[in-house]
Amino acid sequence: MSGPTVAVLGGGQLGRMLALAGIPLGLRFRFLDPSPDATAGRVGHLVVAPLDDESGLSEVVEGADVATYEWEGVPAASASFLEARLPVHPGPRALEVAQDRLAEKRCFERLGIPIPPFAPVDDEDGLRAAVREIGLPAVLKTRRGGYDGKGQLVLRDPGEVPEAWSRLGGTPLLLEAHVPFDRELSVVAVRGRDGSTHCYPLVENHHREGILRLTLAPAPDLDRTLQERAEQAVRGLLEDLDHVGVMAVELFQQDGTLLANEMAPRVHNSGHWTIEGAATSQFENHLRAVLGWPLGSADALGASAMVNWIGAMPPAPAVLALEGTHLHDYEKAPRPGRKVGHATVTAPDPATVLRRLTGLAEGTGLDLAWLAPRTGAGERR
C-alpha cells in the first residue's frame, strides 16, 4: 500500500526533486504547472493549468493529503483557495511576505534581523529622493516578480536615475544600499508541524549574472557565531510566520556581520547539496515537515560543492568519471541562462572537494576562473 499523496503547486526541478526524495518513502505526487513539459511530470501526475486556475487547483488536490509549493510566485489566493479543502504548508502568509520585497524587509526589521538600508520607490522623484537618502552605489529592485537577478540594476551615479526609472519603473520599486560584501551565504532550515526546527550549516554561494553558479557547503571558515546569528534569523522568521516546511534565507557577510538579503519559503537551490551531502536532504525534510512526520538531522556528512549547469548539460560520463561526484539532469530543454541540472561533489574534507571541483571543471569545460575564488583562479564580483 502506498503512503500519502502530496499535491505540489509548480512542476519545475524543485518539484521533481521533492518527488525523487518522497517516492522511497512511499509518497505519491501530483503537480500543477502551466507547461505540459514541466519536468516534474516525469515523476508524478501532472495537471496542466495556470497556478491560479480554480479547476486546475481542484484537480491537482484530488485524493491528496497535503498541498505544498515549489515556487514562491504561487498566488497567495491559490493557497487560500486550497486551505478550505486540505492542509496547505507553508501557509499563504509566507507567500505574501516573500512575494513583496517591501513586506519582506519590514518583516526582517520587525524581527530585528539586520538588513541593508532601503527605501520604497514609487515614481522618478521618489527615486531621486531615495538616492539622496540611501546614497550610491545602490541596487534598484522591483518589489515583485524579480528572481535570478532579473528586475534589478545597480545605480552608481545620480545621472543614471532617468534611465534606471525607464528600465524598471512603472511598477513599485525599492532602492537598497549596495553592500560591498565579503561573500554571500545562505541558511536553509526546516520547521515541522509541531514547531521543531533543524538548520543546515551556512553555505557560501557564488553568483554570476544574478544566477547561482556554485555553493560550497558548509561555508569555508565558518565560525560558530556566524552560524548562530544565521540560525537566530531563520528561526525567528519560521516562528513568526508559523512556517511549516523548508525556508532559505540569503545573507551577505561583511566584516563578520550578516545582513539578510531575501528569503524563500521553499526548498532552495543553495540546498541541493543536502541530497548527497547531509544526513537528510532538504527535499525529504520538507516532505516530512508538511506531512507532520518527524524531521531528520540536518548535519553535513562531510564537505560538498554544488555546481549548477546553466544553459546545457555536460556529457554525463565526463561528470561521473570523477570520484565523489553526483549528477542531476532536470531533463529540461537547453536554453541560455536556464538551470538545466546540477552536480554535487562530495568528500570528507573541503580541500578534497576543491581538488575534485577543479577536476570537474577540467573534465566539463566549466569556467572556474570567475566561478570560484577559492580555487585560486577567480575574482570577486
Q: What residue has cell string 560543492?
A: 305
Is 178 an interacting residue with respect to ligand AMP (CB under 6 A)?
yes
Identify the residue among 184, 231, 276, 284 touching ligand AMP (CB under 6 A): 184
Kindly report the backbone phi and psi dihedral angles of residue 312, in degrees, each rounded to the nearest multiple of 5, phi listed first.
-155, 155
Is 235 an interacting residue with respect to ligand AMP (CB under 6 A)?
no
Minimal distance, residue 179 CB to ligand AMP, in Å:
4
325: cell is 561526484
Number of shown-chain residues binding ligand AMP (CB under 6 A): 14
Identify the residue among 262, 340, 342, 360 touching ligand AMP (CB under 6 A): 262
User: H or E segment at 235?
Assistant: helix 224-240
Rounded to whole angstroms, the Cα distance separating 345 from 142 reads 35
Identify the residue among 3, 73, 126, 210 touching ligand AMP (CB under 6 A): 210
- Other residues' Cβ atoms within 10 Å of the Cβ of residue 221: 10
Rounded to whole angstroms, the Cα distance separating 379 from 313 reads 25
Minimal distance, residue 76 CB to ligand AMP, in Å:
20
Minimal distance, residue 124 CB to ligand AMP, in Å:
21
Instruction: With beta carbons less than 8 A apart as the criterion, state whether 9 and 70 touch.
Output: yes
Minimal distance, residue 149 CB to ligand AMP, in Å:
5
Site string for ligand AMP, 80-119 (x = CB under 6 A): ------------------------------------x---
Q: Identify any residues that bridge with 197 across adjacent strands, giving them in sequence order.
A: 191
Q: Reduced to 3 states, what is the DSSP secondary structure of residue 248? A: strand
Q: What residue has cell string 578534497?
A: 352
Q: Reduced to 3 states, what is the DSSP secondary structure of residue 296? A: coil
Q: Which is nearer to ligand AMP, 144 or 235 (CB)?
A: 144
Instruction: With beta carbons less than 8 A apart as the criterion, state whether 254 and 224 touch.
Output: no
Helix axes 101-110, 92-99, angle to 10 degrees: 110
Cβ-closest residue to ligand AMP? 179
Rounded to whole angstroms, the Cα distance separating 239 from 111 reads 10
Site string for ligand AMP, 42-81 (x = CB under 6 A): ----------------------------------------
Parallel, antiparallel or unpaired: strands 245-254 and 257-264: antiparallel
Q: Which is nearer to ligand AMP, 184 or 204 (CB)?
A: 184
Rounded to whole angstroms, the Cα distance separating 93 from 288 reads 20
Minimal distance, residue 315 CB to ligand AMP, in Å:
30
Q: Which is nearer to ligand AMP, 139 or 295 (CB)?
A: 139
Options 4-12, 42-50, 178-186, 213-221: segment touching ligand AMP (CB under 6 A): 178-186
Q: Which is nearer to ligand AMP, 48 or 211 (CB)?
A: 211
Is 207 an interacting residue with respect to ligand AMP (CB under 6 A)?
yes
- What part of residues 345-364 is at the interface with ligand AMP (CB under 6 A)? none
Q: Which is nearer to ligand AMP, 139 or 247 (CB)?
A: 139
Region at 4 (left for phi over 0; alpha for psi -120 to 50; beta for the rest): beta
Per-residue CA distances from 348 to 7, 218, 281, 352 (Å):
36, 12, 17, 7
- What part of residues 115-154 is at the interface with ligand AMP (CB under 6 A)? 116, 139, 146, 149, 152
- What part of residues 296-335 is at the interface with ligand AMP (CB under 6 A)? none
Contact set with ligand AMP (CB under 6 A): 116, 139, 146, 149, 152, 176, 178-179, 184, 207, 210, 250, 261-262
